[in-house]
């Protein structure tokens, strides 16, 4: 198997494992009514992951050259923030506070604007507040989804 095919197959396998895990967890959690929306999203994500894996395994995923080491090093800080968010912060601090902090950190990490200018920090803060307002309205008001509660709500 050539290295180009491995570079397409390995991410496809990782995404498939993640989608399978998320789908499994969404179906074993109680109360079932609180996990209806996550189940729907998880099943769609699993279907797309299976399709992506089949394309990669058959060699049909020929777009790009896979993930280079340079690209991996650029996205690694964001991946670490998301791992901490998913496995610890959302449960400990609560969904909304942890999401606010994670979004703000990710925005700060990948925003090309100056980190020395006060204006860029204000823009990051305002965008993060607006994003969280949309998330709150979507999950709490529109979908009425139960989000993880932590020490701050």
pLDDT confidence of residue 33:
76
Are 40 and 83 in the same domain? no
Q: Which of 21, 44, 67 is the last residue of a domain?
A: 67
How many structural domains is the chain composed of?
A: 2
User: pLDDT (tens digit, 9 = 90+) per residue, 8-55?
Assistant: 788 889 999 999 998 998 888 777 777 788 889 999 999 999 999 998
Q: Which of 11, 46, 67 is the last residue of a domain?
A: 67
Nearest CA-CA partner of 13 in 41, 63, 54, 74: 54
Are 95 and 40 in the same domain? no
pLDDT confidence of residue 129:
96
pLDDT confidence of residue 16:
94
Are 149 and 97 in the same domain? yes
| CA trace torsion 32, 34, 38, 39 (10° rounding) | 20
* Half-sphere exposure (Cβ direction) of 59: Cα atoms closer than 13 Å: 4
- The two three-digit tokens of residue 62, written as one number: 């020929």
Please give the Cα distance from 98 to 148 (Å, whole number): 10
Q: Is the pTM of this model over 0.75?
A: no
Are 143 and 80 in the same domain? yes
Are 112 and 38 in the same domain? no
Rg (CA), the chain: 18
Q: Which domain holds residue 61?
A: 1-67
Q: Which of 10, 42, 67 is the last residue of a domain?
A: 67
Are 101 and 52 in the same domain? no
DSSP 141: I
Please give the Cα distance from 138 to 55 (Å, whole number): 33
CA 36 to chain centre: 19
Task: Output helix, strand, coil percentages for the chain, rounded to the nearest 5.
Answer: 75, 0, 25
Please give the Cα distance from 153 to 147 (Å, whole number): 10
Are 127 and 58 in the same domain? no
């Amino acid at each position: 198997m050539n290295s180009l095919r491995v570079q397409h197959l390995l991410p496809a396998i990782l995404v498939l494992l993640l989608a399978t895990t998320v789908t499994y967890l969404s179906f074993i959690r109680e109360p079932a009514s609180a996990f209806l929306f996550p189940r729907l999203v998880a099943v769609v994500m699993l279907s797309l992951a299976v399709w992506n894996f089949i394309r990669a395994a058959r060699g049909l995923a020929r777009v790009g050259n896979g993930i280079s080491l340079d690209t991996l090093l650029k996205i690694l800080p964001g991946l670490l923030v998301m791992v901490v968010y998913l496995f610890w912060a959302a449960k400990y601090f609560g969904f909304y506070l942890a999401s606010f902090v994670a979004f703000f950190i990710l925005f700060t990490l990948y925003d090309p604007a100056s980190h020395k200018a006060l204006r860029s920090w204000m823009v990051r803060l305002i965008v993060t507040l607006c994003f969280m307002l949309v998330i709150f309205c979507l999950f709490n008001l529109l979908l009425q989804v139960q989000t993880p509660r932590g020490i701050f709500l």
